[in-house]
């Protein structure tokens, strides 16, 4: 058994301040000298970049639908082993997830699996006793989810906070653990459905300091630490890592402002099977790292940097040469766009990319796809044998155009949530595998092993 102080910052819905409050809590606890391990519920790539910068440690996604209970438990246990406290940021509303009729994929599911106290964040603007009615509904909806305290955001005054406290007490509900004055939290920059990626220009030390100061003023930190310490002990369930092969494989990983959507445990799974990860920048590097056996091109914002990517003709030529050599290259979403003939932006301008894939991509003013996907491999790929099933998600504002792709080049049979039929998707030619799908393969170590082994087999 292992004692891991922990709590989850959840919300009654999106937009109630979960991320700002979580960042402030992490920053405040870190400056008290605590090692804070952060997690994010769901498939999101953006919030974890902020949580990682605030904590100084990688942030890991806990996704019940993509990974299942056993893997979520093992990942949480492994990453908390040297932390003083774990903080989990929820997704959407507490009970929102992959299914409208169950808790599958929700923050509530993760809180239940990990026996984690929940701090429920509520927008308290314009309400008093009604807050108690809202909280009562959340507490009774799934009673096995422990709501341990309430954070009232957007409060109007000290008197308002006193009324909220009294309303909760009178209804015998979890206590008010904090009252955050209206518009007191610094605004975080956003893009599409969430934050922009954290970086030196966005997640600044000054911003984290302001968030930490406001949290210190508004929340009862000592009370929250007590709630976290009261969380029950958990069965230690470390992830079993294979013995690393003495003959390391070098896999290049694109990482810069244009490409940075990776699940840290996906990368760690590759390392666990003998890969040495070599970071490179398609934006600024003129050549690939030397002696690569494979490449992983993740997602990101290639459209925001299309002109600079197109101008780096040396890197584009290096990728074409690498692919022509037959060595493995795996690309997801933004990586697929980079390997295409080019990107057409909203203003109609076109920027030539690597030209390895036989189609263009075009940006759209509205979202093209968002949701979970389940993939069954119709043929063997870099990620394993035919019949291998993986889960992941899809989120993009672009589409393929000028697309003469033969059916036999489509390696995936994809089933989307709330869609009955299965569609063929992805693109495979030789040891090149690309699609719009972000796959979580760390929960299936045989997939990481297959990728590394394919790299190892080639001269």
One of 67, 80, 333, 455 is an active-site residue; which one?
333
Cα angle 391, 147, 233; round to 5: 75
Write the DSSP assignment of 343-376 as a string of letters. Answer: EE-TTS-EEE----SSSEEEE-SS--EEEEEEEE
- Listing from the earlier edge strand, what are the strands of the sheet with 398-401? 350-352, 342-344, 360-363, 398-401
Backbone angles phi, psi at 238, to 5 degrees: -65, 150
Q: What is the token pair recorded at 2?
A: 């292992």
Question: How far apart, in whole angstroms, are the C-alpha atoms of residue 374 and residue 65?
Answer: 10
Q: Whose structure tokens read 């920027």?
A: 351
Sequence-distant (6+) residues with CB within 8 A of 194 are 19, 44, 46, 47
| 299 CB-near residues (< 8 Å, 6+ apart) | 45, 259, 261, 332, 333, 334, 335, 438
Taking each helix axis as running N to C, give the angle between helix 130-141 and helix 158-170, from 0 to 180 degrees, rounded to the nearest 10: 50
Query: Which residues lie below 8 Å from residue 273, measured CB to CB, with a gap of 6+?
Result: 242, 244, 245, 445, 448, 449, 451, 452, 453
d(CA 127, CA 155): 9
Burial class (CB in 10 A: 0-12, 13-18, 19+), 324: exposed
Listing DSSP states for 217-273 in one string gives HHB-HHHHHHHHHTSPPB------PPPPPSS-EEEEEE-SSSEEE--HHHHHHHHHT
DSSP 154-194: EE--HHHHHHHHHHHHHTT-PPEEEEEETT-SPPPPEETTE
The answer to whether 231 touches 116, Cβ cutoff 8 Å, is yes
Q: Are 293 and 457 in contact (CB under 8 A)?
A: no
CA distances from 212 to 202, 206, 219 (A): 16, 10, 10
- Residue 80 is a catalytic residue: no
Catalytic residues: 333
């Amino acid at each position: 058994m292992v004692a891991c102080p922990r709590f989850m910052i959840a919300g009654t819905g999106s937009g109630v301040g979960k991320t700002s409050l979580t960042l402030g809590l992490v920053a405040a606890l870190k400056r008290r000298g605590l090692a804070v391990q952060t997690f994010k519920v769901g498939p999101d790539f953006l919030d974890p970049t902020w949580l990682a910068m605030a904590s100084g440690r990688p942030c890991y996604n806990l996704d019940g639908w993509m990974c299942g209970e056993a893997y979520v438990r093992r990942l949480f246990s492994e990453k908390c082993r040297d932390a003083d406290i774990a903080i989990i940021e929820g997704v959407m509303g507490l009970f929102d997830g992959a299914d409208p009729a169950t808790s599958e994929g929700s923050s509530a599911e993760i809180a239940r699996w990990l026996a984690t106290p929940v701090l429920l964040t509520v927008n308290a603007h314009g309400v008093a006793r009604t807050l108690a009615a809202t909280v009562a509904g959340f507490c009774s909806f799934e009673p096995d989810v422990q709501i341990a305290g309430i954070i009232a955001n957007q409060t109007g005054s000290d008197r308002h906070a006193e009324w909220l406290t009294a309303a909760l007490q009178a209804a015998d509900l979890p206590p008010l653990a904090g009252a955050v004055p209206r518009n007191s939290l610094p605004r975080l920059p956003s893009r599409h459905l969430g934050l922009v990626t954290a970086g030196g220009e966005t997640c600044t030390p000054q911003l984290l300091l302001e968030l930490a100061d406001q949290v210190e003023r508004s929340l009862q930190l000592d009370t929250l630490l007590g709630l976290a310490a009261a969380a029950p002990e958990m069965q230690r369930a470390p992830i079993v890592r294979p013995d690393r092969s003495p003959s390391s494989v070098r896999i290049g990983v694109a990482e810069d402002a244009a490409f940075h959507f990776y699940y840290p445990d996906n990368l760690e799974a590759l390392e666990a099977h003998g890969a040495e990860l070599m970071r490179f920048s398609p934006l600024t590097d003129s050549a690939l790292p030397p002696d690569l056996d494979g490449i992983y091109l993740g997602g990101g914002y290639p459209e925001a940097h299309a002109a600079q990517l197109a101008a780096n003709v040396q890197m584009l030529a290096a990728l074409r040469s690498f692919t022509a050599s037959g060595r493995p290259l795996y690309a997801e979403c933004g990586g697929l766009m980079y390997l295409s003939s080019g990107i057409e932006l909203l203003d109609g301008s076109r920027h030539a990319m690597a030209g390895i894939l036989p189609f263009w991509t075009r940006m759209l003013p509205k979202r093209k796809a968002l949701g979970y996907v389940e993939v069954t491999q119709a043929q063997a790929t870099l990620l394993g044998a035919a019949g291998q099933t993986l889960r992941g998600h899809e989120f993009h504002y672009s589409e393929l155009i000028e697309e003469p792709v033969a059916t036999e080049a489509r390696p995936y049979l994809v089933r989307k949530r709330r869609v009955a039929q299965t569609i063929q998707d992805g693109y495979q030619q030789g040891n090149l595998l690309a699609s719009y799908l972000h796959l979580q393969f760390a929960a299936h170590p045989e997939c990481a092993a297959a990728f590394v082994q394919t790299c190892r087999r080639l001269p």
